[in-house]
Structure 1
């Protein structure tokens, strides 16, 4: 009798253990694929660059750079090319002259892309026995010339959205705490955005833009993450939060393009990454911190849409909570009895 009662229970525990082990292994494999595949296939992908000089020379350069790695646009003169780089129409440029080649880069737009362009042009110049001059029009700040601080901002931005969602959900649970969670999420995003920007700009010297503009952009990115996760948690509990966090960590983080720029990822991966909050936050931070806001419109709009999505989810959860509260109230007759 005792043995027959224990055996089914142990069998159920064994099945549960097997499901947990297989599920955790699947999560680890998914994490490996999410982080490894974009890295394995990373490299120059349709990086926009400009060229100017004699027609025959620019045609030869365009032919030499033809393929999936570079997208070459010809400009009338050197001034127009430099303006295009500063306006972020292209990520670098080549000025061709007799026996001399000038390479213009924008390291802050993507250090790996700038290094790759320099390497390719240097190899071409060696074949033509031409002198090469490299000028960085948009470098990282002198205190952080490799952009290490900027590249490391991805995880703080992500955890800056995830951690408050978890803590606020535990401190102010249920429908009664919904509006406090919303207020707390917005307040945290603003305070954290300004604090992180201050650390990166004045502490490590990694940013060089207008402090207030950069801080507001970083706050918008954190708000997009925090409010979306709070909305998912309000509707579906920790299961909803877990789903949102998994998408952010497994897709948003490796596809953010913060270190190398989106052109360093395959086209499909890069496009997806820029539609997710980490990628849009990174692009907005890059635009505000190094390019005076040039190119900030698209990522700001993307983050604004995520903020609206989070607010909509929270509003739906609020309405459901109000309906449940009304339904759960006893009828007036029952109260009198």
Structure 2
């Protein structure tokens, strides 16, 4: 705990304590001169925080916004500023805060609209992040509880129980957050399967470490991977372009980030679902399960695990009792 506690606080503070935009892509409809003006206004501090992408017409720019290639579209001719809060609420707020300065520089009053607004009960876009966070933590915590309270399971029973538990818990989470409480409006089946895959991946990673280095230390690498690094870098609480470079990079390839992106696509961009998050999440599921199965078979075989060694003091007491 002396190591994990400071790591946890430091990681979340470094990742999300002071979000700073870096090369955040926003679109502008118009000529290069307007793009240069907008770049100057948005980067008033001179830190090149925004990357302004010119588009020839509004339809092309809107298509890029819908595909989450950019976070906003500025159309001076139409006096329009179009945001996409679902792509990143933190970025949307920064761009919206810059609207008065943009209007003055462009000589018009920009009317702000949100092409992909967040749910009424989730104005900061955190519910999907909390779902991903809960799935990862419950995944490996459930695996810990299984190994502690159901010792002597075969390899098939361990994998089957972890899979079944992941499916049941993920379904309950999906139904409660969606249809029951109405915090988000999403299709139940795909969200359920994504959360179940996340939970199963976390349980397999913990199970591998438990076999590889023992139950006493297995939680440490699992906690560091999923909680200390993956969760703050997921892009759920702070958009990826506002994270430090290390977290922005790691979030793309860790399961929590893949889960957040998959849930966001399913919920807000059903017609623009990206393949990458599913490939990343699928890789963690397959590699985690394969690593656990291989390690388990190599060390203990496929049968029930051996009973834990009896402590020396207990053995002495048993010997005394038989004398």
Bin of the TM-score, shorter chain as denominator length: 0.7 to 0.9
- Distance (whole Å) between structure 2 residues aligned to residue 269 and residue 89 of structure 1: 20
CA offset at residue 63 of structure 1?
4.0
> Are 1:275 and 2:253 counterparts?
yes
- Distance (whole Å) between structure 1 residues aligned to residue 5 and residue 220 of structure 2: 15
Look up the match of 1:193.
170
Q: 2:8 aligns with which of 9, 27, 31?
A: 31
Summarize the Cα distance change of 1:306–1:79 in structure 2 as closer, same or farther, 3 Å threshold.
Answer: same
Conserved? CA contact 1:50–1:94, under 8 Å = yes
Look up the match of 1:45.
22
- Distance (whole Å) between structure 2 residues aligned to residue 40 and residue 160 of structure 1: 25
- Distance (whole Å) between structure 2 residues aligned to residue 324 and residue 311 of structure 1: 14
SS at match of 2:76: strand
Q: 2:60 aligns with which of 50, 70, 80?
A: 80
Look up the match of 1:94.
74
Look up the match of 1:183.
160
Summarize the Cα distance change of 1:292–1:323 in structure 2 as closer, same or farther, 3 Å threshold.
Answer: closer
SS at match of 1:138: coil
Look up the match of 2:209.
232
Q: 1:285 aligns with which of 254, 263, 267?
A: 263
SS at match of 2:56: coil
Conserved? CA contact 1:209–1:291, under 8 Å = no
- Distance (whole Å) between structure 1 residues aligned to residue 65 and residue 302 of structure 2: 57
Look up the match of 2:142.
164
- Greater relative CO (CA pairs within 8 A, separation 6+): 2
Gaps of 5+ in 1: 1-23, 329-337
Count how many residue pairs are aligned between Structure 1 and Structure 2. 300
- Distance (whole Å) between structure 1 residues aligned to residue 298 and residue 251 of structure 2: 32
Summarize the Cα distance change of 1:80–1:293 in structure 2 as closer, same or farther, 3 Å threshold.
Answer: closer
1:1-337, aligned counterparts within 5 Å?
A: 24-65=1-42, 67-97=47-77, 101-173=79-151, 176-238=153-215, 239-292=217-270, 294-321=272-299
SS at match of 2:110: strand
- Distance (whole Å) between structure 1 residues aligned to residue 111 and residue 39 of structure 2: 19
Structure with the bigger percentage of helix: 1
Structure 1 range deviating more: 78-87 or 261-270 = 261-270
Summarize the Cα distance change of 1:295–1:64 in structure 2 as closer, same or farther, 3 Å threshold.
Answer: farther
CA offset at residue 293 of structure 1?
6.1
SS at match of 1:131: coil
* Per-residue Cα deviation, 1:262-285 (whole angstroms, up to 9, x for no partner): 122122211112222222211111
CA offset at residue 139 of structure 1?
0.8
- Distance (whole Å) between structure 1 residues aligned to residue 99 and residue 278 of structure 2: 34
Task: Compute the RMSD of aligned alpha carbons.
Answer: 2.4
SS at match of 1:254: coil
Conserved? CA contact 2:19–2:238, under 8 Å = no
* Per-residue Cα deviation, 1:19-68 (whole angstroms, up to 9, x for no partner): xxxxx444332222112111234222221211102443233223444544
- Distance (whole Å) between structure 1 residues aligned to residue 150 and residue 52 of structure 2: 54
Look up the match of 1:6.
none
